Amino acid sequence: MKSVTIYISATCPFCQRAMQLLDSKGVNYQTVSVDGRPDVRQEMTQKAGRHTVPQIWIGDTHVGGCDDLFALESADKLNDLLA
């Protein structure tokens, strides 16, 4: 299974939803908190081209945010991307 990295904020409900989906699939993932860390948020923004959380990477592929992750799941493409 590929490595998964999620940039999150503790108070973000979309971050929680994305992590719940990954948890339900048994995915081990690394979280990177942007809370109180403008340098980390800037790094995420430069990598993703977006400033909102969550921002999710599966391997080297930038998936996007929570809605993007759920869209992959709905299209039956998430498992293949994780494999």
Q: Is the per-residue pLDDT at 1 higher than 90?
A: no
């998964």: which residue's tokens? Answer: 4
Q: Is the pTM of this model over 0.85?
A: yes
pLDDT in tens, 33-60: 999 999 999 999 999 999 999 999 999 9
Domains of the chain listed by start with CATH number: 4-82 (3.40.30.10)
**Helices 13-24 and 66-74 sit at what angle, rounded to 10 degrees?**
30
Q: For residues 32 and 7, is the Cβ–Cβ distance under 8 A?
A: yes
